[in-house]
Structure 1
Amino acid sequence: MSNLPESFTGDWITPDHPRYSEAIARWAINAERRAKVVAFVKSAQDVATVLKYGKQYKLPVAIRGGGHSTSGASSVEDGVVIDLSRYLSSVRVDPVEKLAYIGGGAIWETVDKAAIQHGLATVGGTVNHTGVGGLLLGGGYGFLTGKHGLTIDNLVQATVVTAGGEILAANSTENADLFWGIRGAGCNFGVVTEFVLRLHPQRRTVFAGILAYPPPLIPNAAATAAKFWDAGLDENEAITYALTMDPAGSGHPLALLFIFWNGSEEEGRSHFKPLFDLGPVLDTCKEIPFEEVNSVQNIHLKHGRNYYMKGIFATGLQVDVAQNLMSLLPELSTKRGINFNVIYEFMPTKKVLSVPNSATALIRAFRANVLLLATWDDKDPSKLDAVRSAAIELRRIVIQGERTIPESLNVGYGNYYSEEVTSASAGSGADSEALFGENYRKLQKLKKKYDPDLVFFKWNPITPEA
């Protein structure tokens, strides 16, 4: 079963290979799975060959771009991984047309650094070792969302290898239905080997950094951050508000605010003056090169730990539930050994909502993404059950504070889904139906056309139309 297909030109890694452990390693170690084969592809034709191989031997398939999924979507037990990260990870910038040609296995760091050399940028991930493909296909929020919308709003074209092995260009005129579907519905329709993204003029430095507030200041920090959101964010700003445990080990929670201003330090300090006036105990904010802004949070999100995510939507910062969250975080940390972060991501919505829901697969609404992010170092696989249980408790608190979005529809941002999907569970579609709302029926038709046999099921799978 590990026979190398004759036409395959990449690297064919099986469990007996000396670099097998490296080949299945992921950002989150709890997302690693023991594949029968890891195929490091060199071309779209290689991808088609591996898909044919998987079908021939009835092997489940996973796609690895940046390897950042916490659900195991980029890994597969006893199956075949199509890995784009080794040979399809480069970026070519056309500064005249303001376009970036991006390999399906590239990470955002490569894009940011290549584009800014020409004074250009696009909407990329706020953690720059995230893969381009995973973030983009699920929507894509970033610090430039206020000016340029979602990452999918900047997609000009993609090269897609479908379940049947066809290699298709998808854009507004060629295979337009597929182009519509991949903008928000993840990897449900194929493997993207190249993205073409629109670039925009970008100043070379921006103002950004972290502010920290101890327990006595947390209510005021929350209320002040909430005022920025309620007033309507400027297109040049973004705020991330996180409740977490003090990394210094004091045993107390902290409020951490990551602030971004697409301008000078003088402008940024003036704009965010109410937050500085509260007297944070930590202020790392300064003017930095643009290509560094998406790396500031990397130190807290290193490779090789356990990670779990759960997404929620909220229409505001929920100042009134902060105390309940603060009370629970120390208990989770001390009694269960889990470091939980409750993160509210505030990006300007005007540009995002200027695109109608009918234009892409992604559903848009006036709301912020809330991320429950757990990290832990215990390698006991049973620990995940305790993490899920704790996430449910925290989610309940956030959900109770949300008075606009019905709980039945509050599935959260699709890229923050952490439950593993197996071939046995892929056909239910309940969460996907809530996620894609009014677009789900159209997506079912597309699934029937491009992937009727559910070859691609590892991320918010869509059930093909009957």
Structure 2
Amino acid sequence: MVNLHVATITGEETVLEQAAVEAFKASLRGELLCSTDAGYEGARKVYNGMIDRHPRLIARCTDVADVINAVNFARENNLLLAVRGGGHNGAGLGICDHGLVIDLSLLKGIRVDPVARTVRVEGGCTWGDVDHATHAFSLAVPSGAISTTGVAGLTLGGGHGYLTRKYGLTIDNLLEADVVLADGHFVTANSEENEDLFWALRGGGGNFGVVTCFLFRAHPVSTVYAGPTLWHLDQAAEVMRWYREFSINVQEDMYGFFAFLKVPPGPPFPEHLHTKTMCGIVWCYTGALEKVEEAFQPIRNFATPAFEHIGPMPYPALQSMFDSLYPAGLQWYWKGDFVKQLSDEAIALHLKYGSQLPSLLSTMHLYPIDGAANRVGNQDTAFSFREAKWSMVIAGIDPDPANRDRITSWAKEYWSALHPHSCGGAYVNFMMEEGQERVQATYRDNYERLVVIKNKYDPTNLFRVNQNIKPVTA
């Protein structure tokens, strides 16, 4: 290893002496990778194939001590620093150019307490790891809809998915977090200790430190009644008008996200529907199975679908249902917004753009975030939009880099048309690098409080490769 030209926290270039790098490497139980090392190329790749960044160093931490040493090294050498958990962030904010990456993917410890119904999860776990561990005890933690998503990134942004209406956001089930701060100190944040930090972590992203472990409340979820229902595109307006009322008024055991999609060319979909643009709802019912027919009767009374594939399944099977459809390495460009109402005008715009999906995998989803999530106050956590009914994501997706501009343009145009019909802010995990105004619009009245907490815990903005809360002292 030779002297390295690296990026500083402010984007300038400096030189790291070989001796300093060797000393840092010796302080780690895990690997320290540079561009010439075997494993570097794989370690720098993230979920979104559109992201192609080259850090100078990747610290593959195996324990909290490694994380502390890495944070101290970054701070003492004024290095640009990124923190990577599962690597799913659409904007690629778990990786950086010419700086240091703290890679948590080896921190995989999970411990379920079936009596207390809690689960302790280290920062490198994915939700598939958690689902596997909790399902053995017929428990689940509210999370997302793709099991390869990292626990850390999803949680720190808020976390919504199939269990949100029944049990709230992921952060509503976070009991405490272990955090390595910018000054290298290790703290625990919960409702009684470092309460301000605990408030900020629940929706404020990776702005305040490296979370090495989460403690979650789990819920009795084992077998759910779930799967997709698809309708032809000429029924989409009718489906959306019905869905906007049904979705927010039905019992909280029933969850369904709406989508525009092209039908995947394979089972369980019939061949005559393959690659056809349709609309659909993916359901998840967590109520008593003996009442499932009664629960689904209003859905079946609404309109005859072109395809239905709903039935009982283990909750982890639902969580991983779309994993193979969206493997790592695809090109992604997504934009999101929170939505409170689906007006007829908004529905007409959805039909215009949703009928013009630019590729087989591109899609638009409306995820319900009402029910239990709406019963938490806007100021109770950093996640601000508790009055919203849906979290919308418009995702241009394709395996071919040559189609990057096409899927990006479609997503931007779709979003621009619908944005005036939104709440004004977005789920931070559905944002690309969209600028400070957008970050502030997402946190609204909570932003100033977040700045105060950022000033306290990270005054030099060491943790800035994120949807950044800028300290006034940086």
- Which TM-score applies when normalising by structure 1? 0.89
Name the SS of the counterpart of 1:307 in structure 2.
strand
**1:465 matched to which residue of 2?**
472
Q: In structure 2, what is the Cα distance between the partners aligned to 1:121 and 1:328? A: 35
Q: In structure 1, what is the Cα distance between the partners aligned to 2:343 and 2:259? A: 12
CA deviations on 1:212-245 (whole Å, 9 max, x unpaired) are 1112222222222222135x23221111101123
Q: Which amino acid aligns with 2:299?
A: L
Q: Does 1:285 align with 2:310?
A: yes
Q: Does 1:154 align with 2:161?
A: no
**1:356 matched to which residue of 2?**
377
Contact 1:317–1:344 (8 Å) recurs in 2: no
Q: Quick one: structure 1 residues 339 and 127, their matched pair in 2 at CA, closer, same or farther if it must change by over 3 Å?
A: closer
How big is the shift at 1:10?
Answer: 0.8
**1:306 matched to which residue of 2?**
331
Q: In structure 2, what is the Cα distance between the partners aligned to 1:146 and 1:82? A: 34
How big is the shift at 1:396?
Answer: 2.7
Name the SS of the counterpart of 2:147 in structure 1.
coil
Q: Quick one: structure 1 residues 331 and 183, their matched pair in 2 at CA, closer, same or farther if it must change by over 3 Å?
A: closer
**1:11 matched to which residue of 2?**
31
**1:296 matched to which residue of 2?**
321
**1:415 matched to which residue of 2?**
429
Q: Sequence identity of aligned pairs in percent?
A: 30
Q: 2:207 aligns with which of 168, 181, 188?
A: 188
**1:424 matched to which residue of 2?**
none
Q: 2:119 aligns with which of 95, 100, 108?
A: 100
**1:228 matched to which residue of 2?**
246
**1:245 matched to which residue of 2?**
262
**1:75 matched to which residue of 2?**
95
Q: 1:271 aligns with which of 271, 284, 295?
A: 295
Q: Quick one: structure 1 residues 197 and 320, their matched pair in 2 at CA, closer, same or farther if it must change by over 3 Å?
A: same
Q: Which amino acid aligns with 2:459?
A: P
**1:24 matched to which residue of 2?**
44
Q: Which amino acid aligns with 1:270?
A: E
**2:397 matched to which residue of 1?**
375
**2:286 matched to which residue of 1?**
262
Q: In structure 2, what is the Cα distance between the partners aligned to 1:266 and 1:239? A: 19
Q: Which amino acid aligns with 1:137?
A: L
Q: In structure 2, what is the Cα distance between the partners aligned to 1:440 and 1:453? A: 18
How big is the shift at 1:412?
Answer: 1.4
How big is the shift at 1:263?
Answer: 3.0
**1:433 matched to which residue of 2?**
440
Q: Quick one: structure 1 residues 328 and 143, their matched pair in 2 at CA, closer, same or farther if it must change by over 3 Å?
A: closer
Q: Quick one: structure 1 residues 443 and 242, their matched pair in 2 at CA, closer, same or farther if it must change by over 3 Å?
A: same
Q: Which amino acid aligns with 2:104?
A: L
Q: In structure 1, what is the Cα distance between the partners aligned to 2:71 and 2:346? A: 48
CA deviations on 1:388-447 (whole Å, 9 max, x unpaired) are 432221013323445xx3xxxx12111101227xxxxxxx73222211111111111111
How big is the shift at 1:15?
Answer: 1.1
Q: Which amino acid aligns with 1:243?
A: F
**1:219 matched to which residue of 2?**
237
Q: Does 1:59 align with 2:84?
A: no
Q: In structure 1, what is the Cα distance between the partners aligned to 2:420 and 2:326? A: 28
Number of residue pairs the alignment of both structures matches: 444
Contact 1:224–1:274 (8 Å) recurs in 2: no
Contact 2:143–2:170 (8 Å) recurs in 1: yes
Q: Quick one: structure 1 residues 264 and 217, their matched pair in 2 at CA, closer, same or farther if it must change by over 3 Å?
A: farther
Q: Which runs of 5+ in 2 are unaligned?
A: 5-17, 266-272
Q: Quick one: structure 1 residues 359 and 19, their matched pair in 2 at CA, closer, same or farther if it must change by over 3 Å?
A: same
Q: Does 1:207 align with 2:207?
A: no
Q: Quick one: structure 1 residues 297 and 443, their matched pair in 2 at CA, closer, same or farther if it must change by over 3 Å?
A: same
CA deviations on 1:255-312 (whole Å, 9 max, x unpaired) are 0210110035563343233433422222111100122121122233221211121011
Task: State the superposition RMSD in angstroms.
Answer: 2.2
Q: Quick one: structure 1 residues 213 and 142, their matched pair in 2 at CA, closer, same or farther if it must change by over 3 Å?
A: same
Q: Which amino acid aligns with 1:259?
A: W
CA deviations on 1:185-208 (whole Å, 9 max, x unpaired) are 010000000001112223x21100
Where does 1:38-49 land on structure 2 (aligned, <5 Å)?
38-49=58-69
Name the SS of the counterpart of 1:29 in structure 2.
coil
Q: Quick one: structure 1 residues 217 and 332, their matched pair in 2 at CA, closer, same or farther if it must change by over 3 Å?
A: closer
How big is the shift at 1:104?
Answer: 0.4
Where does 1:318-333 land on structure 2 (aligned, <5 Å)?
318-329=343-354, 331=356, 333=358
How big is the shift at 1:341?
Answer: 1.3
Q: Does 1:132 align with 2:131?
A: no
Q: Which amino acid aligns with 2:295?
A: H
Q: Which amino acid aligns with 1:234?
A: Q
Q: Which amino acid aligns with 1:260?
A: C
Q: In structure 2, what is the Cα distance between the partners aligned to 1:390 and 1:397? A: 11
Q: In structure 2, what is the Cα distance between the partners aligned to 1:266 and 1:398? A: 40
Name the SS of the counterpart of 1:300 in structure 2.
coil
Name the SS of the counterpart of 2:234 in structure 1.
helix
Q: 1:176 aligns with which of 195, 199, 209?
A: 195
How big is the shift at 1:318?
Answer: 4.2
